[in-house]
Structure 1
Amino acid sequence: MAEQSNSNTLGLLLRQLLKERSLSMRKFSELTGIDTATISRIINDKRKATPQHLEKFADCLEVPLINLFEAAGYPIEQKQEDSDSDDIHTSVDAIQALLKSSNVYDNEFSVSNVEQKLESYGLYAQTEEGKNTILKDFDEKIKSVGSIGPFINQLKELYGKFTSGKGTLFELTLIGSTLLYFIIPVDVIPDYLFPIGYLDDAIAVQLTTKALLNRIT
């Protein structure tokens, strides 16, 4: 199975995904903001996709970024982890490869850095100032990102839960910390390093979603 997956080119994978989602190349271009000619060259293996291209493709098609990295031929070191943490660690692998290839961020990225930041924002989320920051700035930050997909949709769901006030103090604090992580631009990977600056925000959302699900189960 692994050999078959690795033999697939990015072009073949994109063709398959577009067909499954009934997306034309023109519509795909509109959703990703990448011109049709560039997408056509990538699909026809006449141009190598950049990490930035892959990040936009993954967000639009709602597929794991690491799958596109592998199909595009970027080296990814797979880690064997337990099933509960597979998604996060494969995402981290993809982020590490993306940061390395982008040459705009020199620090080592880790989940523990995101967790530490979330913990500090959790304390802030319990204050009136923190709550007001979320209520006042969330919609504006969503507009500035100008993106759709599971990452943004999950954030909107968390925002809805936070504003409703339904949940335990722990749950609302956890959700508030994630919303502040997204809103405040200075986090583990600064947001101004667009588009890679929001990759750690996606990890933060993933961590919080898993924590909330674990409490339910």
Structure 2
Amino acid sequence: MKKQYAVIGLGRFGSSLAKELIELGFDVLGIDSSEQTVEKLNGILTRAVIADSTDIEALKALGIGNFDCVIVAIGNDIQSSILTSMLLKELEVKTVVAKALTELHGKVLNKMGVDRIVYPERDMGIRVAHQLASPNLLDYIEISKDYTVAELSVPKRLSGLSLKELDLRVKYGCSVIAINRKDSVTIAPMGTDILNDSDVMVIIGNNQQIIDFEREFID
């Protein structure tokens, strides 16, 4: 059976996430306290309902405990976000993901046992800053406090080099885990793979390793 998701809070972040999950082929229940917001997503999501997520009986009536993952995407009401997350853990939802507005908000959610905490505004700010600092940086995703995955377009000066010649692992400690080309993607490329200036390298390493590589090789 395909996974079932519930998204609580259908503002910009929540509705975007819910729509993308639908596009990926999953069943999605959308929950919001605004009738107008719910009406906009009726017919787009698997189901959209008006409910107070801080009411445990309302959550039980929706069968929230049966969902594989529930995302708390409540906007600016930190109290409701915390109370909703607490009730979801009490109802033994398998996986609870919550949007945090501040570091303190995130710490509280973490103490409550929320499985994953996301900081959309902070993370987007970090990604945009890195993209502005390096024109060849297409995307930048922190996967932990130590490791980052970065997408870098191959500059002309590296075109024609093999990964063995580039020798990223030995020189910088980071690794090319994929090469995106116009018509194909090479996962776990070999040392003999040749880079072209139309390629995109997907690199994993810690922040400093990737910065050091960018400074020396990226135009």
User: Per the shorter chain, which TM-score range?
Assistant: under 0.3
TM-score, length basis structure 2:
0.27
Structure with the larger helix share: 1
TM-score, length basis structure 1:
0.28
Q: Which has the higher contact order (CA 8 A, sep 6+)?
A: 1
Q: Which has the larger radius of gyration?
A: 2
Structure with the larger strand share: 2
